[in-house]
Amino acid sequence: MRITGVELRRVALPLVAPFRTSFGTETVRDALLLRVVTDDGEGWGECVADSDPRYSSEYVDGCRDVLTRHFLPALGGDPGLRAWDVERRLAPFKGHPMAKAAIEMAVLDLRLRETATSLTDFLGGVAEAVPAGVSVGIMDSIPELLDAVDGYLSQGYVRIKLKIEPGWDVEPVRAVRERFGDALALQVDANTAYRLADARHLARLDPFDLLLIEQPLPEDDLRGHAALARRLSTPMCLDESIVSARAAADAIALGATSIVNIKPGRVGGYLEARRVHDVCAANGVAVWCGGMLETGVGRAANLALAALPNFTLPGDTSASARYYARDITAPFVLEADGRVRVPTGPGLGAAPLPDALAEYTTETTWVPFG
């Protein structure tokens, strides 16, 4: 069907609790949604960029600008646009993978709905539900952290990820391990907060039998991660460094990672995310699906991806209630076995609810196509 235009819709969803990482603290999710419209259908996408360029160089205002001024005009001459066309025609533009991923997701949703195909079937998903981990932010005190972890475990989450930074690492991990025992699947995420000179200190995490340590060093320091991996017994996982399938192959070849966190927005979309999955599978490297505080739109797509066969570790595909009292879509829920079901409806298998859009929308922009 012919695309007539794209709506950019900014929404602000309050978080149920502040979420603190080494980059800062979020209390509201400021998200950019895209709605691709045809004569008789639509598709939705979500841009996962944050409000500020801290996790990456992208941020919401910048994504909106590059979409309206460059990307959508470059695509507007093709009303029959498909996802692989988005990737090909935006390739000459440098960077901005999160903005590119958002429009690719919306076009995928649109075209898959037209053929009554689910995103997970299109990508090659094999699981009906995926095990859900939960990401626990930096707290003001260890008792507060222990209460939070206890609450998530009582809800049924099968893996705990602790955000860490210098001054909040060894002792919080020790406290969680001592309180909840060796059987707890536990990992840590440093979000680039350390340097190779911290290797001796980070080695103090080794006795706690962690699943992995995620992205301790800056994203451009693959050699540093390789050197650090040789000095730690805790498996090394990369996040921010993995910006493409080629980057994943390089990191694996250098010995900089033995586990990969795949975030579709970070690699430019779900087509490239599948390639990262395939590269890792070919090299015997396990992957899991990371999260960016997505609304139900992005969460639906991530669940579809996490159903692929090499996603063998629990991801950050938490239930909607982990972050939002009310999601923008029908909520995703944690089942009794600690899993979240993969949507099987056409496209993403989820779409924003009109009343939720009305409540959370802060601005809209319409871009005619062609």
Which residue among the candidates 94, 100, 161, 163 is catalytic per the annotation? 163
Q: Is 161 one of the catalytic residues? A: no
Of residues 249, 303, 280, 368, the one with CA closest to residue 118: 303
Q: Is 17 exposed, middle or buried (0-12, 13-18, 19+ CB in 10 A)?
A: exposed
Residue 226: which of 194, 261, 257, 191 has the closest Cα?
257
**Residue 331, class by beta-carbon neighbours within 10 Å (0-12 exposed, 13-18 middle, 19+ buried)?**
middle
Residue owning tokens 């999160």? 98
The two tokens of residue 295 are 């609304």
- Alpha carbon 233 to chain centroid, angstroms: 26
**CA-derived radius of gyration, the chain:** 20
Measured between alpha carbons, how far is 178 from 166 in angstroms, rounded to an integer?
Answer: 21
Whether 94 is catalytic is no
Q: Answer for the pair 19, 35: CB distance below 8 angstroms, yes or no.
A: no
Is residue 318 within 8 A of residue 72, CB to CB? The reply is no
Structure-token match 């033995």, residue found? 258
Give 153-156's long-range contacts (Cβ < 8 A, gap of 24+): 153/180, 153/184, 155/319, 155/334, 156/334, 156/335, 156/336, 156/337, 156/338
Active-site positions read 163, 263
